[in-house]
Structure 1
Amino acid sequence: MLVIAVLSPVHFTENETLRLSKLYFLVVLTFSATLLEAQTATITGVVFDENEMPLPNVNIESENQGTFSDINGFYILEIIADQETTITFSHLGNKKLVLKDLILNTNENYEFNPVLKNEAILIAEVVVTPVGSRHAEGITTISPDMVRNIPGTNAGVENILKLLPGISSNNELSTQYMVRGGNFDENLVYVNDIEIYRPFLIRSGQQEGLSFVNSDMVGNLQFSAGGFQAKYGDKLSSVLDITYKTPVSFGLKINATRLGTSTTLESVSKNKKLSSLTSIRSRDNSLLVNSQNTSGNYDPSFFDIQQYTTYIFSNKFRISYLGNIAINNYRNQPFTRQTNFGTLNDIKTLTVYYSGSEKNQYRTNLNALKAEYQVNDKTTLKLISSLYFNREQEYSDVISQYRLSELNAGLDNDLFGEPTPINGLATQYNRARNDLDAKIFNLEHKGIHSNDGKAISWGLKYEHTNIRDQIRESEFLDSLGYMVRPPNSGYNRNEPEIPFEAPLLPYEGIIARNTVSSHKVSGFAQYSQRTLWKQHSIYYNIGARVSHWVVKGNDLKNSAHTIFSPRAQFSIKPNWKKDMLFRLSGGVYQQPPLYRELRDNNGIVHPEVEAQKSYHIVFGNQYSFKMWQRPFTLIGEAYWKKMTHVNPYTLEDVRIRYTALNNAKAYAYGAELRLNGAFVPGTESWFSLGYLKTEENINERGYISRPTDQRLQVGILFQDYMPEVPDLKMYLNLVYNTGLPGGSPSYTDPYLYQNRLRDYKRADLGISYIFVGANKSNDKNAFLRIFKDLSGGFEIFNLFNNQNSITNTWVRDLVNEQQFAVPNFMTGRILNIKIEMRF
């Protein structure tokens, strides 16, 4: 009842939001009081498997009490003090462990971290074998340590996802990603059952800053690229499900690189009931931005604080709090730019001189409470509430004067390499005054009841969204002394021969003010079971989602919508000598529009826009085997999507602009392979290959490539070490993506322009040395004894200095009636130094 009372308001002013945020923190502090219980003692710790990974759902029993380990392997059990007690740790797929004749004093807290040995047996939705674990649900699980170690300009969860087949991004400055032909808005992200939202206005990857997901806080990571269960929300493409770890002891971790720093504090109360995980991060992207073609005064600074706190009232009831405050400032004062492009026989150069500046700020605040009550060992109930507040500002005034020239290419010419001016001289003025405030409130109930291999899950959620948006953008072009009017403006032009006296208009201009709110109620129910059929292991899941929402706004007609989405998964592990698993999943996936999908290119909101609909069919196979006496897994999937009520859009860098019309249909199909295993003993590496084709048909004009039609994607993640110096580690990730359709000039009909950007090729290398670690201590050195972990090293981003481009700048030569596509290159080769320590 407390959670509901705190979060029941729906409409908030800014002051009310700040007061509510403070109230959340007061609630957390109130729960920090410890409880003293006489004649009892406590045993707590983390259960691990043979690979030293936390083991969830372990049954822990004494003579009078029982509990289960959580998803991080953490458990806490109260026992009767001052008498002998036997405690049993049991888990299907692992050998039982018995702790005998334990005697604890009254109020004593005893820490015990058992390791359970593996057995090959089918458990719930996972098959545990001598060569690893597999999910019958089609979920990919990634080690948090791998996430933290793999190098990248945006190192973290999204960085490693882009190495999986079917997932791509041609922008190393962005944390956003595309999955199997979907765009950035089609991906679900959860942290501890709480849905995460992204800023609305960001248009460039270099403005994004820090990902919400903090790698140092991650305890478990699961990802599904399609065909996911009904328990997940209403999105078209993928689900990223993150669980933050629950600390079991005090710890302090510090990371420092040339790009920024992060500090993570883990703390636990004496009785192990109150635990807290706090992280502070800062980042400065100047090192990356200054490696691009445009020189200037850049100040891209990003900062955030995250807090995850858990209080355990009893073995049955616990409450947790997740809070986040992020401030992203992007300040840019460009000076000059020079870009060479073209062919060896026809080399051109673009020289630009800038005046003015750009100031963008994105502030986000998330507060969430989750109460979890375990009725018994079969039934668990959850109540989740969250409040997301976002304030975004984009202010810019930039004047650019550019000159388009040809380079002298003759080797025998004294002017070799010198630019020769051609008919390309113009001035461009860009101005923006954009403000957006977003408040999103959620209240949700979830439950699960499982018994004898069967499980029923259900959920009910209310979501309220309130958006206030003011957009004012304009672009003026001056070429050879006269202003260029926008195409299709209704005037015949023959400048400069004939003077043009019509009023000045921006080549591109938007002025709009919108206040939009929506109320959405959604629910799901699903049933799953594991069983045997003729000695073959079977798992299946059947479920459905229902959503109803209403869109309201000033001067807008209210619009109500209802959708129904059935989904199902089926897996079979044949009783063969070869260790293989087959999966088939599919269903209907629909995405109710958020604000960005409702706003068209002119800033006008269309509340009548319907949910985009996608039919998924995914077939997968997983084969586990041993090679060179080491474990390997070969995973293959083929998928097909049919999409209706499609809302077409354009993609420029990471900026998505919708037509706000359900006037298209589309399809996507592809196949993927990933070979994962210990290519080097004691490490994990993989090779992935994906093929995709996705096209859309707008207004029955025929099928053309969608903006996300990434045909071929190759990803390699490789880890190694020196046998003579095993503490010297090497991490390498390689990415190759074929070019995306895009880079077209403004106002271009996509049916007339289907050229592609250049292929994306990138390699990042990391070298580190472990001074102190889990398997290496240094008791002889007094200084090193203060560390639990200490490592240092360097990273080389874009190892081969490939020139990748994400968009084109279009230079207009009106005398010759030509336009030239000048690529906007991404970051060059960069050296980064890093050090990591844990106390």
Structure 2
Amino acid sequence: MKKLFFLVIFCFFEQFIVAQTARIKGVILDEFNAPVENVSIKVGETGTVSNKNGFYLLEVPANKEITIVFSHVTFKNTVITVTLKSNEDFELNPVLNARVTQIGEVVVTGNNKKRVEGITTIDPVIIRKIPGANAGIENIIKTLPGVYSNNELSTSYAVRGGNYDENLVYVNEIEVYRPFLIRSGQQEGLSFTNTDMVENVDFSAGGFQAKYGDKMASVLDITYRNPKRFKIGLEASLLGGSLTAEAVSKNQKWSNITGIRYRDNSLLVNSQETETNFRPTFADIQTLLNYNASTKWSWSFLGNISQNKYNYQPLTRQTNFGTISDPIALLVFYEGQEKDEYLTLFGAVKSVYQYNNKNKLKFIASTYHTQEQEYYDILAQYRLGEVDSNIGSETFGDVVFSRGIGSQLNHARNDLDALIFNTEVKGFHELNEKTQLEWGLKYTREDIRDRIVEWEVVDSAGFSLPAPILDYQNDQPYNPYTGPLAPYRNVRATNFTTINRFSGYVQWNYRGEIGEHKYWLNAGIRGHQWQVSGENINGDSQFTFSPRVQFAIKPNWEKDMLFRISGGMYNQPPFYRELRDYNGVVQPNVKAQKSFHLVLSNDYSFKIWNRPFKLLNEVYYKNISDVNTYTIDNVRIRYRADNNAKAYVYGFDARLNGEFVPGTESWFSFGFLKTEEDYNNQGYIARPTDQRLKFGLLFQDYMPNIPNVKVYLNLVYNTGLPGGSPSYADPYDYQLRLKDYRRADAGFSYVFKDAGIESNKTWLKPFSEFSLGLEIFNLFNNQNAITNTWVRDVYTKSQYGIPNFMTTRVFNIKLIARM
């Protein structure tokens, strides 16, 4: 009884002490409405500093007058006096006046913590303004070194030899998922991330810490904005539009930001070779609701509803290939249509308990539900023939002689219903000024119901072609075929699957000195246990450990250099897609792919023309065992699900970024990689992601005499990927490569008003930003191929691989308005 009495007295006393304090928070901005980092905020002897986003948080005494001093070496001091009530949350967003004038809308800033961890931070302003056929965060990431893609219609990307399923994506520390049945980039529609809601974007291409999940390639960590005042933003273009609204309650305890988006890919798809009736509808709504219950507790809810309807009716197609002296054309007439629908519901609750400045707990629960259907019946009747190449001929460019004719009938009735539930707790503890401890525990349950029915029948000149994997002798039309009639391709399976997962991590951070040189050390370990079960499925319980370490040192040199080494084990337990084999059947005992990473980095910050620049060089190596080999067709990945291979990856990445034009950030990226795999001890061959060379350029400029006119350029060059072989082909027999991927997107914008450009026009007074722009996608009209269509000439018994080209040059108009 005495213990209970003292416990009650202690809790009452603690609440009484807490009640005598209040909390001040806010974002510090400069004259151009840009956040200011490393501002010192002091109240008496208590103080803190603002982070890279200008955000600060300080607990202060209540019920008495206090003086707050904001100081920075570049700005004039700002002093504000206030009196706060007990347990009050007070928001204060001061604007500092600079001692020197700085021009521009994007400023290159440094962040020591991210720099030490090897994380690339991307300014959301750049993300919103740089043009791209699929504009957004993924569009910018594809310009970074080590990141590869050959599909402008897709948000998918490969990092340092990994595939699309090997990338982690977080929004507000909540893991997000991609749809399961997507086959082509033009079906994706919208990325999960709403760019207009983003506050911060961090990206790591490898060697990341144990606190991130169990994937082998990369981490994209996105933070949505916490509203500070009422705002409305509108974007509209020929590809769709978005509307974003944010608001804060009077007592500053509640805040909300909500975004609605709509996208129509008709403009891009109609630029492809296939003439279609294309009626897509890609729409979603996202909301982030925040509630500050007290100075210690805060809550948030992130919700998303997304519906993608893809109705596709191909009509005709003509692809010319061959040589100048022997031009050949594939002419296709289609019947039928495709109707796909992807409905996604996502909700997550997050609570943060800040016990004091040195201890914090986070509780996260999320649910992801997707219902997907993929239905199509498409008959393609083709003619493979010679093209009239005589310029003066009346039939110039037409097929005048048919070498072969045939037809293909493709059918699918695929349905998938997946429910994924996560619950997680995380802890952060600052043991002293130099040491921090972080830990986390997570439970995941995945319930997936999946039916796949796909078949293809191929007929050439009236003769049905059976599946090439069958052992048969076929010398039609000279002798009749007496074997069984079988579809050219046939996949049928029904899977009811449940996966239970337990995972956790603990990591230790230390900051110290060796003489006059500063160093940082991070060491951690992850554990993951999972078991696959379901209808007629009983998998084994499996477990993996993943120790990881990072070490960075900053010598006390005149030059601002930092050296970093990181690595460890990066195990990837199979997700549902990795459990399905080529026949669509779940293999419950697929093991985790295991990858050992080693990354060596050099980070050099310097100034040219008295403007900031940074050069980052990284060398990396991966040794991968228990490899689950796969094929990639557009963006659909199909696995063997047998772990019967080994692989390696090595490469070099470099990135130079800075203010090539005063006040704007641009960068140039270069990457080289080589990755090969050995399946069943047959020898090493190129993996599907072996894209050897990469060049990327992101450039911003403005006209000095007309600062309202902005210019943006996004260039990507990637050497060709292995691929284009028939889907049934053994990669040891067919080692083909697609052509190099070359892409240039340009944007021109006239800014009527923004943070750096004022306007006296009356109609612009309600707006904080207003601009009108022209975008040109595929500026140089390059023909980039994503796959090959294989057709057969029954008379010559030859097969032809006809490239499926991506989009041609497209023009787009874009309007941006924010209040």
Q: Helix, strand or coil for the counterpart of 2:664?
A: coil
Partner of 1:596: 577
Q: Helix, strand or coil for the counterpart of 1:547?
A: strand
In 2, the alpha carbon distance for the partners of 1:640 and 1:130 equals 30
Deviation at 1:87, TM superposition (A): 2.2
Deviation at 1:344, TM superposition (A): 1.9
Structure 1, residues 169-226: CA drift from partner, whole Å, max 9, x if none? 1000000100001000000000001001101110100000100011101101100000
1:74–1:248 CA contact under 8 A, matched in 2:
no
The equivalences for 1:198-347 within 5 A come to 198-347=178-327
1:88–1:96 CA contact under 8 A, matched in 2:
no
Q: Helix, strand or coil for the counterpart of 1:135?
A: helix
Partner of 1:668: 649
Match of 1:657 among 626, 634, 638: 638
Q: Which amino acid aligns with 1:387?
A: T
Deviation at 1:816, TM superposition (A): 0.9
Deviation at 1:88, TM superposition (A): 4.4
Q: Which amino acid aligns with 2:217?
A: S
2:377–2:410 CA contact under 8 A, matched in 1:
yes
Partner of 1:437: 417
Deviation at 1:99, TM superposition (A): 2.8
Deviation at 1:626, TM superposition (A): 1.0
Deviation at 1:473, TM superposition (A): 0.4
Q: Helix, strand or coil for the counterpart of 1:559?
A: coil
Match of 2:743 among 756, 759, 762: 762
Deviation at 1:42, TM superposition (A): 7.4
1:132–1:631 CA contact under 8 A, matched in 2:
no
Residues 770, 581 of structure 1: CA spacing in aligned structure 2 closer, same or farther, 3 A cutoff?
same
Deviation at 1:499, TM superposition (A): 2.3
Deviation at 1:56, TM superposition (A): 7.5
Partner of 2:537: 556
Match of 2:727 among 710, 725, 746: 746
Q: Helix, strand or coil for the counterpart of 1:660?
A: coil
Residues 562, 96 of structure 1: CA spacing in aligned structure 2 closer, same or farther, 3 A cutoff?
farther
Q: Helix, strand or coil for the counterpart of 1:495?
A: coil
In 2, the alpha carbon distance for the partners of 1:182 and 1:74 equals 35
Deviation at 1:259, TM superposition (A): 0.3
Deviation at 1:420, TM superposition (A): 3.1
Q: Which amino acid aligns with 2:736?
A: N
The equivalences for 1:687-836 within 5 A come to 687-779=668-760, 781-836=761-816
Partner of 1:482: 463
Partner of 2:127: 147
Structure 1, residues 533-587: CA drift from partner, whole Å, max 9, x if none? 0101101100000110111011112321100000000101111111111110000
Q: Which amino acid aligns with 1:548?
A: Q
Q: Helix, strand or coil for the counterpart of 1:288?
A: helix
Match of 1:520 among 479, 498, 501: 501
In 2, the alpha carbon distance for the partners of 1:527 and 1:78 equals 26
In 2, the alpha carbon distance for the partners of 1:208 and 1:130 equals 34
Deviation at 1:770, TM superposition (A): 1.1
Deviation at 1:478, TM superposition (A): 1.1
Q: Which amino acid aligns with 1:690?
A: G
Residues 57, 623 of structure 1: CA spacing in aligned structure 2 closer, same or farther, 3 A cutoff?
closer
The equivalences for 1:124-139 within 5 A come to 135-139=115-119
Q: Helix, strand or coil for the counterpart of 2:729?
A: coil
What TM-score comes out, normalization by structure 1 length?
0.90
Q: Which amino acid aligns with 2:271?
A: S
Structure 1, residues 741-761: CA drift from partner, whole Å, max 9, x if none? 001013211011111001100
In 1, the alpha carbon distance for the partners of 2:188 and 2:788 equals 20
In 2, the alpha carbon distance for the partners of 1:786 and 1:292 equals 41
Residues 560, 39 of structure 1: CA spacing in aligned structure 2 closer, same or farther, 3 A cutoff?
closer
Residues 414, 437 of structure 1: CA spacing in aligned structure 2 closer, same or farther, 3 A cutoff?
closer
The answer to whether residue 176 in structure 2 is matched with residue 196 in structure 1 is yes
2:29–2:93 CA contact under 8 A, matched in 1:
no
In 2, the alpha carbon distance for the partners of 1:360 and 1:290 equals 18
Q: Helix, strand or coil for the counterpart of 1:338?
A: strand
Deviation at 1:683, TM superposition (A): 0.7
Partner of 1:124: none
Match of 2:375 among 391, 395, 398: 395
The answer to whether residue 477 in structure 2 is matched with residue 504 in structure 1 is no
Match of 1:170 among 150, 167, 173: 150
Structure 1, residues 697-724: CA drift from partner, whole Å, max 9, x if none? 0000000000000000000011000000
1:254–1:263 CA contact under 8 A, matched in 2:
yes
Deviation at 1:825, TM superposition (A): 0.5
In 1, the alpha carbon distance for the partners of 2:134 and 2:661 equals 26
Deviation at 1:504, TM superposition (A): 2.7
Name the stretch that deviates more: 732-741 or 100-109: 100-109
Partner of 1:577: 558
Deviation at 1:782, TM superposition (A): 2.3
What TM-score comes out, normalization by structure 2 length?
0.92
Q: Helix, strand or coil for the counterpart of 2:127?
A: helix
2:52–2:111 CA contact under 8 A, matched in 1:
no
1:430–1:476 CA contact under 8 A, matched in 2:
yes
Q: Which amino acid aligns with 1:446?
A: K
1:591–1:613 CA contact under 8 A, matched in 2:
yes
Structure 1, residues 202-259: CA drift from partner, whole Å, max 9, x if none? 0100000100011101101100000000000000000000000100000000000000
Match of 2:517 among 529, 532, 536: 536
Q: How many residues align?
A: 792
Partner of 1:617: 598
In 2, the alpha carbon distance for the partners of 1:370 and 1:561 equals 29
Residues 241, 38 of structure 1: CA spacing in aligned structure 2 closer, same or farther, 3 A cutoff?
closer
Structure 1, residues 43-78: CA drift from partner, whole Å, max 9, x if none? 553134798654689785546998886885445668
Residues 657, 212 of structure 1: CA spacing in aligned structure 2 closer, same or farther, 3 A cutoff?
same
1:131–1:625 CA contact under 8 A, matched in 2:
no
Name the stretch that deviates more: 707-716 or 627-636: 627-636
In 1, the alpha carbon distance for the partners of 2:665 and 2:704 equals 16
Partner of 1:422: 402
Q: Helix, strand or coil for the counterpart of 1:145?
A: helix
Flag structure 1 segments of 5+ consecutive residues without an equivalent: 1-36, 119-127
1:715–1:735 CA contact under 8 A, matched in 2:
yes
Deviation at 1:102, TM superposition (A): 3.5
Match of 1:386 among 366, 370, 373: 366
Residues 453, 110 of structure 1: CA spacing in aligned structure 2 closer, same or farther, 3 A cutoff?
closer
Structure 1, residues 334-368: CA drift from partner, whole Å, max 9, x if none? 10000111222221100000000000111111100
Residues 785, 578 of structure 1: CA spacing in aligned structure 2 closer, same or farther, 3 A cutoff?
same
Partner of 1:681: 662
In 1, the alpha carbon distance for the partners of 2:531 and 2:647 equals 26
Residues 493, 81 of structure 1: CA spacing in aligned structure 2 closer, same or farther, 3 A cutoff?
closer
Q: Helix, strand or coil for the counterpart of 1:732?
A: strand
Residues 497, 219 of structure 1: CA spacing in aligned structure 2 closer, same or farther, 3 A cutoff?
same
Partner of 2:620: 639
1:86–1:98 CA contact under 8 A, matched in 2:
no
Flag structure 2 segments of 5+ consecutive residues without an equivalent: 1-17, 100-106
In 2, the alpha carbon distance for the partners of 1:110 and 1:759 equals 52
Instruction: Report sequence identity in percent.
Output: 55
In 2, the alpha carbon distance for the partners of 1:173 and 1:665 equals 31
Name the stretch that deviates more: 627-636 or 793-802: 627-636
Partner of 2:346: 366
In 1, the alpha carbon distance for the partners of 2:77 and 2:481 equals 88
1:609–1:661 CA contact under 8 A, matched in 2:
yes
